[in-house]
């Protein structure tokens, strides 16, 4: 059955008459009024049940073109596609509205609004006191805290009201067939969704305790797969480096070991930034790569693994990790020449330091600095963080998938798979989160997976929470 219409309202009316009310409702959100659309809908019970519908958009010159299914990023404008399978575009506006509503509900339920309002009043009084600025460090902390509290309250109050305003405007634009206004509404709600998701992540991080707010150490270790796993470890390191850049985090390399032919056997960096450990701790575990190997002469498909571990610094020298006592008798110190690309200094002096904690077998290596004393200091901080993490793991023995990288670095223990061949998909096996844009993920687009892990963690009532 074919029919022609020139407006979203017309499509909705025709489909309603055909008996598919649910599809009709969605169509009104999926077709800008600026397109003259011809829709083919099989009006059968099976069609209505599965929402099977084909569509083509007709340009002003009268030539029709089929619009292929594709993945839509949040907030992107939608074109004239109706219904269809999961490969077709879904309603941008409805989907974004649902996400904003979910975020607002979580913020309202998890935040103590009266307590935040009382704290904001206290901070306002402190900020208005001229004596506060005699101590610049204290003043900076107070101003920063006030901005955070104010932002939390503003998000709770504004998200719902803004959403309702844009919803009303969208309905009006649909009735009036205002294509430009429809596009603006979709874009604005898309931006509101990003704001809501950011507020949700920050709120969940703030509920994670003192450790969540600390800096951290990030360690990557190549696993099964030989040269492929070395290259995969290097790819992961670049992914986390680019992700850290988007957060304005600072990465300080402590040590690295190059692979035989390419990539890295291992690498460890210190990540400095607000809530660095809270953001990264869900990344701990085994990461699996499937692709046609460029190192295989026959181009066969290979599977390789790399393990990620995350250790909290816990507030620097004043934190819990700094309080870990390591008796001299339990410490083995080795000095060696640093590995590197060469130069006047590298490989000429024993500046690299490796510390081994004899009771646990934990090892920390630092070779990034020219000074042996500085490398020993960095290695000691990293070793304390590892020992502290080990004690936390023992104390929380019942923790499962969010433990910091437990499990063998091989098949069957992966937390996430990155498939480049025969299809492209990144899937987190703990949360079920999937992303088809593999290149975007490897370029640092991790926030979706981290958000999903945070939501899953806190939906379990904080069992995994520190």
Does the domain spanning 214-457 belong to CATH 3.90.180.10? no
**What average pLDDT score do residues 11-21 get?**
47
pLDDT number for residue 340? 58
pLDDT number for residue 52? 32
Contact 35, 9 (CB under 8 A): no
* Fold for the domain defined by 94-206: Methane Monooxygenase Hydroxylase; Chain G, domain 1 (1.20.58)
Question: Tokens standing for 195?
Answer: 């704001």
Q: Please report the sign of the dihedral spanned by the C-alpha atoms of residue 88, residue 89, residue 90, residue 91.
A: negative
pLDDT number for residue 198? 87
- Report which of 442, 445, 426 is spatially closest to residue 434, judged by C-alpha positions: 426
**343 has pLDDT over 60:** no
Among 238-242, 367-371, 414-418, the minimum mean pLDDT is found in: 367-371
**Cis, peptide link before residue 201, omega less than 30° from 0:** no
| CA separation, residue 97 to residues 101, 162, 284 (Å) | 6, 11, 32
pLDDT number for residue 14? 47
pLDDT 10s digits, 399-421: 444 444 445 655 567 899 999 98
**Number of alpha carbons in the 13 Å side-chain half-sphere of residue 348:** 7
For the chain, what is the mean pLDDT? 75
- Report which of 351, 364, 356 is spatially closest to residue 313, judged by C-alpha positions: 364
d(C-alpha 464, C-alpha 140), whole Å: 32
Cβ–Cβ contacts within 10 Å for residue 353, how many? 26
Query: Nearest 10 degrees: CA dihedral of 429, 432, 438, 444?
Result: -90
Strand-strand pairing, 36-41 and 53-58: antiparallel
**45 has pLDDT over 70:** no
**294 has pLDDT over 50:** yes
Question: Tokens standing for 33?
Answer: 């009024």
d(C-alpha 70, C-alpha 213), whole Å: 38
- Report which of 462, 427, 464 is spatially closest to residue 448, judged by C-alpha positions: 427
pLDDT number for residue 248? 93
Question: Tokens standing for 404?
Answer: 């910091």
Higher pLDDT, 21 or 240: 240
**168 has pLDDT over 80:** yes
pLDDT number for residue 39? 36
**Number of alpha carbons in the 13 Å side-chain half-sphere of residue 384:** 22
User: In the chain, where are the structural domains located?
Assistant: 2-90, 94-206, 214-457
Contact 221, 307 (CB under 8 A): yes
- Report which of 311, 333, 281 is spatially closest to residue 384, judged by C-alpha positions: 311
* Maximum alpha-carbon separation in the chain: 85
pLDDT number for residue 129? 87
Among 72-81, 208-217, 225-234, 401-410, the minimum mean pLDDT is found in: 72-81
Most confidently modeled of 174-188, 270-284, 312-326?
A: 270-284
Query: What pLDDT band is residue 80 in, cutting at 50, 70 and 90?
Result: very low
Write a three-state SS string for the chain: CEEEECCHHHHHHHHHHHCCHHHHHHHHHHCCCCCEEEEEECCCHHHHHHCCEEEEEECCCCCEEECCCCCCCCCCCCCCCCCCCCCCCCCHHHHHHHHHHHHHHHHHHHCCHHHHHHHHHHHHHHHCCHHHHHCHHHHHHHHHHHHHHHHHHHHHHHHHHHHHHHHHHHHHHHHHCCHHHHHHHHHHHHHHHHHHHHHHHHHHHHCCCCHHHCCEEEEEEECCCCHHHHHHHHHHHHHHHHHHHHCCCEEEEEEEEECCCCCEEEEEEEEECCCHHHHHHHHCEEEEEEEECCCCCCCCEEEEEEEEEEEECCCHHHCCHHHCCCCHHHEEEEEECCCCCCCCCCCCCCCEEEEEECCCCEEEEECCCCCHHHHHHHHHHHHHHHHHHHHHHHHCCCCCCCCCCCCCCCCCCEEEEEECCCCCEEEECCCCCEECCHHHHHCCCCHHHHHHHHHHHHHCCCCCCC
């Amino acid at each position: 059955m074919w029919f022609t219409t020139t407006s979203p309202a017309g499509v909705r009316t025709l489909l309603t008459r055909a008996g598919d009310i649910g599809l009709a409702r969605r169509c009104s959100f999926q077709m800008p009024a600026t397109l003259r659309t011809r829709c083919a809908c099989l009006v059968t019970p099976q069609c209505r049940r599965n929402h099977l519908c084909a569509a083509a958009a007709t340009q002003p010159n009268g030539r029709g073109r089929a619009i292929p299914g594709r993945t839509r990023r949040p907030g992107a404008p939608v074109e004239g596609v109706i219904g269809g399978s999961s490969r077709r575009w879904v309603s941008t506006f409805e989907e974004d509205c649902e996400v904003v509503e979910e975020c607002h509900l979580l913020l309202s339920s998890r935040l103590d609004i009266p307590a935040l309002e009382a704290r904001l009043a206290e901070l306002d009084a402190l900020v208005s006191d001229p004596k506060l600025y005699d101590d610049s460090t204290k003043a900076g902390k107070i101003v920063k805290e006030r901005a955070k509290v104010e932002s939390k309250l503003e998000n709770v109050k504004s998200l719902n009201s803004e959403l309702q305003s844009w919803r009303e405007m969208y309905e009006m634009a649909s009735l009036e067939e205002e294509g430009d206004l429809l596009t603006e509404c979709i874009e604005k709600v898309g931006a509101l969704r990003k704001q809501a998701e950011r507020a949700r992540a920050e709120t969940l991080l703030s509920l994670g305790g003192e450790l969540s707010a600390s800096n951290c150490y990030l360690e990557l270790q190549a696993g099964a797969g030989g040269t492929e796993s070395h290259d995969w470890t290097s790819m992961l390191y670049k992914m986390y480096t680019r992700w850290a850049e988007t957060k304005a985090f600072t990465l300080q390399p402590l040590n690295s070991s190059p692979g035989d032919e390419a990539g890295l056997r291992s690498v460890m960096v210190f990540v400095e930034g607000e809530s660095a450990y809270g953001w990264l701790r869900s990344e701990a575990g085994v990461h699996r790569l499937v692709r046609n190997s460029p190192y295989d002469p026959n181009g066969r498909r290979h599977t390789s693994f790399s393990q990620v571990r995350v250790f909290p610094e816990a507030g620097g020298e004043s934190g819990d990790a700094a309080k870990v006592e390591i008796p001299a008798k339990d410490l083995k110190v080795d000095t060696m020449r640093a590995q590197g690309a060469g130069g006047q200094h590298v490989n000429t002096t024993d500046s690299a330091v490796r510390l081994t904690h004899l009771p646990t077998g934990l090892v920390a290596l630092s070779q990034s600095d020219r000074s042996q004393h500085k490398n020993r200091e960095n290695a000691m901080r990293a070793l304390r963080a590892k020992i502290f993490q080990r004690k936390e793991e023992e104390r929380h023995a019942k923790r499962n998938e969010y433990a910091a990288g437990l499990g063998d670095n091989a098949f069957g223990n992966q937390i996430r798979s990155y498939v480049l061949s025969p299809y492209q998909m990144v899937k987190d096996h703990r949360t079920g989160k999937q992303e088809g844009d593999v290149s975007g993920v490897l370029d640092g687009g991790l926030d979706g997976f981290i958000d999903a892990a945070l939501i899953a963690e806190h939906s379990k009532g904080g069992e995994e929470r520190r």
